[in-house]
């Protein structure tokens, strides 16, 4: 959906391994540098990051350590908390990249429709519909139903 807005040149998320060259800095002159190692064994994943660049030259990025992503998943994933098998257990790297991507897009120029779609992505539905966003959130939060429904 972000690409369909016509404002984005690129959007991507990557893993950073221990053997990679990686540095970043926020502030008035943000900087991100990632040079993947050419070693066969790059080590364990230590960071995840997501980047967007706009057609007009603007950009943004978000970086999270693997430990920060793990803490995020434990705090916000209902399935993870309850010990159910979820994508966080079966495909952690992809969920981590999705997490940093959603975080960086909070700073991008987005339509209301896109924001609604991203918010609905974290909900649970028990029925199928052509427009899943319009279905109520059935996620249980401390005995109460979700906030989108």
User: Tokens at residue 45, please?
Assistant: 């994943």
> What pLDDT, on a 0 to 100 scale, did the predictor assign at position 85?
81
Delimit the domains of the chain by residue range.
3-110, 112-149
Low-confidence stretches of the chain (pLDDT < 50) are 3, 111-112, 114-116, 118-120, 125, 141-149
User: Tokens at residue 5, please?
Assistant: 């807005």
User: Tokens at residue 148, please?
Assistant: 């989108």
> What pLDDT, on a 0 to 100 scale, did the predictor assign at position 87?
85
Which residues neighbour 146 within 8 Å (Cβ) at sequence distance 6 or greater?
Answer: 123, 124, 136, 137, 138, 139, 140
């Amino acid at each position: 959906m972000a690409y369909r807005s016509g404002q984005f040149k690129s959007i991507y998320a990557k893993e950073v391994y221990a053997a990679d060259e990686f540095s970043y800095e926020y502030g008035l002159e943000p900087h991100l540098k990632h040079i993947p190692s050419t070693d066969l064994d790059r080590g364990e994943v230590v960071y995840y990051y997501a980047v967007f660049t706009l057609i007009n030259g603007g950009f943004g990025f978000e970086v999270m350590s693997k430990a920060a992503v793990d803490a995020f998943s434990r705090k916000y994933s209902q399935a993870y908390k309850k010990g159910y098998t979820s994508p966080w257990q079966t495909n952690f790297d992809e969920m981590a990249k999705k997490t940093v991507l959603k975080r960086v897009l909070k700073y991008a120029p987005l339509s209301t429709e896109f924001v609604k779609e991203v918010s609905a992505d974290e909900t649970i539905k028990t029925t199928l519909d052509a427009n899943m966003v319009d279905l109520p959130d059935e996620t249980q939060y401390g005995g109460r139903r979700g906030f989108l429904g």
